[in-house]
């Protein structure tokens, strides 16, 4: 097992749910990213997704688009993100997933990127724009490197394709709870339970639900149906507000801890 698999196995054995946190790497800079991940580890976060900044993040709403822009402006590169992961690994075993667009991988070569990620201490990749049907030898390379390939299932994904997608995934399945791009919402999807059940009918892998979860009450509700809750834009907005201020790391970590506590109550 890698760290993602170990974490979800432990949570399942304890009858607990997990909090998956997304932040944009390099926002406001990579030193802050390192400190935030370390604080999240202490706050009880199960898995961290690091968004590798990209100039055209098609799956993301405005909050995460602006985070990617700030990451690029701070000089963050894929190599810089991997250096930061190595620094985190010197002190923490928290599972780390890179949330990344394929152009960045293609530039350095698929096998090279996977090998470099594994050597740095990354546990999985979530490639937003690489459909399973076009992944060629991606999964074989990931398995060889000991990394989990995280796949997305949307509300609009037909049942027969859900089965094909989850069969090729590992670590956990990311359930997109609503149509559209990332971003905070005032309420969770009304058909959330049915969406999770549809995925579970095809796989024993943990199901993590994201896109739109914005506060502790919503996180608690989602955790009552899923194995894990993914929160991104709400945390990224906290970073945009407090990231460069004195005590900013502590402020963001306090918000994340409130989410972790809500999830742990289920």
CB hemisphere CA count around 122 (13 angstroms)? 31
Q: Is residue 141 part of a domain?
A: yes
The CATH number given to whatever domain includes residue 244 is: 3.20.20.70
Residue 28's domain comprises 19-149+212-264
Q: Is residue 154 part of a domain?
A: no
pLDDT tens for the 266 residues of the chain, in order:
799 999 999 999 999 999 999 999 999 999 999 999 999 999 999 999 999 999 999 888 899 999 999 999 999 999 999 999 999 999 999 999 999 999 999 999 999 999 999 999 999 999 999 988 888 799 999 999 999 999 999 999 999 999 999 999 999 999 998 655 555 565 566 789 999 999 999 999 999 999 889 999 999 999 999 999 999 999 999 999 998 898 999 999 999 999 999 999 98
199-205 contacts at long range (C-beta below 8 A, 24 or more positions apart): 199/153, 199/162, 199/166, 199/173, 199/175, 202/162, 202/163, 202/166, 202/167, 203/166, 203/167, 203/169, 203/173, 205/166, 205/169, 205/170, 205/171, 205/172, 205/173
Q: Is residue 1 part of a domain?
A: no
Residue 241 is encoded by which pair of tokens?
A: 């507000």
Number of domains the chain is built from: 1
Active-site residue list? 49, 60
Confidence at residue 180, expressed as pLDDT on a 0 to 100 scale: 55
Confidence at residue 54, expressed as pLDDT on a 0 to 100 scale: 97
Q: Is residue 162 part of a domain?
A: no
Q: Is residue 173 part of a domain?
A: no
Confidence at residue 266, expressed as pLDDT on a 0 to 100 scale: 84
Q: Is residue 3 part of a domain?
A: no
Q: Is residue 38 part of a domain?
A: yes
């Amino acid at each position: 097992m890698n760290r993602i698999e170990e974490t979800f196995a432990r949570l399942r054995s304890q009858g607990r749910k997990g909090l998956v946190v997304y932040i944009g790497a390099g926002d406001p800079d990579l030193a802050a990213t390192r400190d935030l991940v370390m604080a999240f580890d202490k706050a009880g976060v199960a898995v961290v997704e690091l968004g590798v900044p990209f100039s055209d993040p098609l799956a993301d709403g405005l909050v995460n688009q602006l985070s990617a822009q700030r990451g690029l402006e701070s000089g963050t590169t894929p190599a810089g993100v991997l250096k930061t992961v190595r620094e985190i690994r010197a002190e923490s075993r928290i599972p780390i997933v890179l949330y990344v667009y394929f152009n960045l991988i293609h530039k350095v070569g698929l096998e090279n990127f996977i090998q470099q990620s594994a050597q740095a201490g990354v546990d999985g990749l979530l490639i937003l724009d690489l459909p399973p049907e076009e992944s060629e030898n991606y999964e074989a390379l990931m398995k060889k490197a000991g990394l989990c390939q995280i796949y997305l299932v949307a509300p609009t994904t037909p049942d027969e394709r859900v089965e094909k997608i989850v069969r090729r995934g590992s670590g956990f399945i990311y359930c997109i709870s609503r149509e559209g791009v990332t971003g905070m919402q005032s309420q969770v999807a009304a058909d959330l339970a049915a969406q999770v059940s549809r995925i579970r009918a095809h796989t024993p892998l943990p199901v993590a639900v994201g896109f739109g979860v914005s506060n502790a009450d919503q996180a608690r509700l989602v955790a009552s149906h899923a194995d894990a809750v993914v929160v991104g834009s709400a945390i990224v907005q906290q970073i945009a507000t407090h990231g460069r201020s004195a005590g900013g790391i502590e402020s963001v970590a306090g918000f994340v801890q409130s989410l972790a506590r809500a999830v742990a109550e289920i």
